Amino acid sequence: MTKRYFADLDKYAESDVVIVGAGSAGLSAAYTLGKARPDLKIAIIESNVAVGGGCFLGGQLFSAMVLRKPAHLFLNDLGLEYEDEGDYVVVKHAAYFITTLCSKVLALPNVKLFNATAVEDLLTRKDENGQIRIAGVVTNWTLVTMHHHDQSCMDPNTINANVVLSATGHDGPFGAFCIKRGVEIGAVKKMDGMRGLDMNKAEDAVVKGASEIAPGLVVAGMEVAEHSGSNRMGPTFGAMALSGVKAAEEVLKVFDE
């Protein structure tokens, strides 16, 4: 186990893409990207032990997951069953969605999930124009992090990457991590902050806003709402899948340049 794990750590220390956060948006991005480009090395960093972020319980803790169309096309691609309700579709349990998605992601040979590992800082580098470019992430073991107060010196790990795709969710005790750190270090201009709940406006805004917001940093999911000041989503997940897909397409553009 240790040999395999540390071989992976070594292999992914130089990744093409690092995805931060394995919630519904991050995993949707990983699936799209990993499938489209089997030649890219993709590391997913998830601070929690379990994947899935806020999506295991579905809408308002009531199991089922509602996704507005055209997110059903993503479900078709995954081979997931759903009930068609006209403008939207319903997956009978959110856990069915996220476990299926995660199993497809983990089956991809070019993707490695490092869970129980938190991103604690961004790596930066100046590009040829002297502009700050996000060049990877700094990680540390979650248990090591918990001991910062009683250990005097701990060195973190680093993962270099051409692009960091951040899907750490909205702000709270954790979340919106890469935007917040990006603003602190002057790489991201501002964080507008998520507005109140307006499902209809939020869905389109979160998909549209999934983009490269600073050189080398692409955002997806509710982290987009924090960046662009769009509305809170509420318990509907179509935009999480589709913003993950859109963010993956934005990453592909960086490699096509």
Binding site for ligand AHZ (CB under 6 A): 20-26, 45-48, 53-55, 118-119, 167-170, 174-175, 177, 221-222, 232-234, 237, 240
Would you say 16 or 223 has its CB closer to ligand AHZ? 223
CB of 160 to ligand AHZ, least distance (A): 17
- Give the residue among 132, 102, 128 at the shortest CA–CA distance from 213: 132
Shortest distance (Å) from residue 225 CB to ligand AHZ: 8
CB within 8 Å of 240: residues ≥ 6 apart: 23, 24, 25, 28, 55, 206, 221, 222, 233
- Quote the least distance from Cβ 108 to ligand AHZ, whole Å: 19
* Residue (22 or 71) nearer to ligand AHZ, CB: 22
* Residue nearer to ligand AHZ on the CB measure, 222 or 251: 222
Q: How far apart, in whole angstroms, are the C-alpha atoms of residue 255 and residue 211?
A: 14
Taking the alpha carbons at both ends of the chain, their separation in whole angstroms is: 38
Residue 184 CB, shortest distance to ligand AHZ, in Å, is 14
User: For residue 179, what are the CA distances in angstroms to 108, 134, 220?
Assistant: 28, 11, 11
Nearer to ligand AHZ, 117 or 131 (CB): 117
> Among residues 215 and 234, whose Cβ is nearest to ligand AHZ?
234
Shortest distance, CB of residue 219 to ligand AHZ, whole angstroms? 9
Least CB distance from residue 244 to ligand AHZ, whole Å?
8
Judged by CB, which is closer to ligand AHZ: 16, or 46? 46
Least distance to ligand AHZ, CB of residue 257, Å: 26
Taking the least distance from each CB to ligand AHZ, the nearer of 132 and 206 is 206
